[in-house]
Amino acid sequence: MCRLLIVLPALALCCGCIGKSGSVGSSARQPPEPGKYTCYRAVDNIVLDGKLREKSWKKAPGTGNFMMYDGKQQSPLSTTAKLVWDDQALYIAFECDDPDIYATHEKRDEALYSQDVVEVFIMRQDDTEDHYVEYEISPRGTLFDIYLTAPFKGKLEWTSEAFGAGAVFAGTLNKPADGDKGYTVEIRIPFADLYGAEGASPEDGSEIRMNLYRIDYSTPEEIGKAGADAKFITWSPTDKINFHQPDKFGVVTFRRSPVGR
């Protein structure tokens, strides 16, 4: 039986609760709109190599550049994503500009959130109300996954057997002086993780609430430690540096039409 645990402060890094204050000054303008995206069917087989050579990626619409966490300014580093799906899984491609790629972790479920990382949070679609799943991938393709029963509370030992990713980076890891270009991540999230049953998938027009994130760091003086100068970047804005806000998740609408039509 899976052991239910409270996520310790170290794990809180994955929500962006470190590196700078989460306070936000008052503003007279309206809160930013949540992210919205229409996800179409893939037209070919997605190979998880991080290279985005498939026709599906070439035809899929982009999200546009992500914002800083509160939605008040564009990210200083370009971050975009595309999504497609088939009967078994959702596929997500991230493209991230990054002049200083920092990633040392090589083992699954290490503290990826303390170094450069992209993250996907998705609400469960079965009768487990308010449960969601978190996936993280580093620029070197290392994986992290956790099942959340509430913000910061979940099953760290939970593992998705069919979750996978491929990553490609342009530059040299953990060497800030050489001027890297960035990295690309290609992700497969099985619908069985979301629906709790094999063979389940979205119907045409159905909506799933999720959010896409990126945490960018500078390489620290001591390689292997948490990164420096954290930037918290999101597709659907949050009101503070806390990614674990399901009420701030965006909405992805699934269509059975082939991508590009």
Predicted pLDDT at 29:
61
Query: 198 lies in which domain range?
Result: 41-258
Do the Cβ atoms of 66 and 235 come closer than 8 Å?
A: yes
Predicted pLDDT at 18:
36
Dist. CA 141–CA 93, nearest whole Å: 13
Answer whether residue 104 is part of any domain. Answer: yes
Answer whether residue 196 is part of any domain. Answer: yes
Answer whether residue 35 is part of any domain. Answer: no
Q: Which portions of the chain are predicted below pLDDT 50?
A: 1-13, 15-28
Answer whether residue 124 is part of any domain. Answer: yes
- Provide the number of structural domains found in the chain: 1
Dist. CA 87–CA 126, nearest whole Å: 17
Strands (E), 101-227: 117-123, 132-137, 143-150, 153-155, 164-170, 182-190, 207-218
Q: Does the predicted model carry a pTM greater than 0.85? A: yes
Answer whether residue 60 is part of any domain. Answer: yes
Predicted pLDDT at 64:
96
CATH number of 114's domain: 2.60.40.1190
Predicted pLDDT at 245:
96
Answer whether residue 23 is part of any domain. Answer: no
Predicted pLDDT at 156:
86
Q: What is the largest CA-CA distance in the chain?
A: 50
Answer whether residue 87 is part of any domain. Answer: yes
Look at residue 191 and give its three-state secondary structure: helix
Dist. CA 50–CA 94, nearest whole Å: 9
Answer whether residue 24 is part of any domain. Answer: no
